[in-house]
Homo-oligomer: A and B are copies of this chain.
Amino acid sequence: MSEALDVRPGEETVDIPQAGDAALHFIGAIRTPWRTRRDCPRRGDMIEGPVCRVEIAPLWRPALKGLAGRSHAQILYWMHEARRDLVVQTPNHTGRSAGTFSLRSPNRPNPIASSIVALVEVLPDALLVRGLDCLDGTPLIDVKPETCPFDQARPPQGGP
C-alpha cells in the first residue's frame, strides 16, 4: 500500500524494523464473498453472516482430527492488505484518533486477526464456518478449539 498519502489527520506512523523476528507459515486460505476491504462487513454480530470456507493446505489436514462435533472455533488469519506502521490511527467510522492497541483495526504491527466462528461442518480439507468478515483469499494462520466461556452459553451446533 502507499504510505504517506494514506495518513489521515491525527494519525502517527513509525519506521518499522526491516528484519523480522519470526516467520509465519500460511496453512491455508479463507474463501469469503468479499473481494475488497470496502465490501467486508463491520465486525459486529460475530456468529451471523454467510457460510465461509476455511481451506486447509494438504500438509496440515491431519491436524483437523478431533475438531468435528465442536460448536465453535477460533481462527487466526493474516490481514495481508493492512499497513503495519500506524501507532495512532483515525478510524473512518469514529473520526477520532486512538492508539492501535485500543482498536481492532486491521492496521497494526502484526496484522493478525482473531475471530470466533460457528463450526457448520468439518470436511477433510476445509471448515465451513459462520462469523468471518475478511477478504476472499485471506491467508490462514491457525485454527484452535474455542474455550471462551460465552461458548458454553450457546446450545451445541452442527458438526458432522
Which residues of A are in contact with B by a Cβ distance under 8 Å?
12, 14, 16-17, 19-27, 43, 59-60, 62-67, 70, 73-74, 76, 78, 80, 84, 87-88, 97-104, 108-110, 112, 114, 116, 139, 141-145, 147-150
A12 CB contacts on chain B under 8 angstroms:
62
A43 CB contacts on chain B under 8 angstroms:
147
> Which residue in B62, B80, B145 is a CB contact (below 8 Å) of A88?
B62
Distance between A22 CB and nearest chain B CB, rounded to angstroms: 5
A26 CB contacts on chain B under 8 angstroms:
21-22
CA A48 to CA B112, docked complex, whole Å: 26
Closest to A65 in B: B99
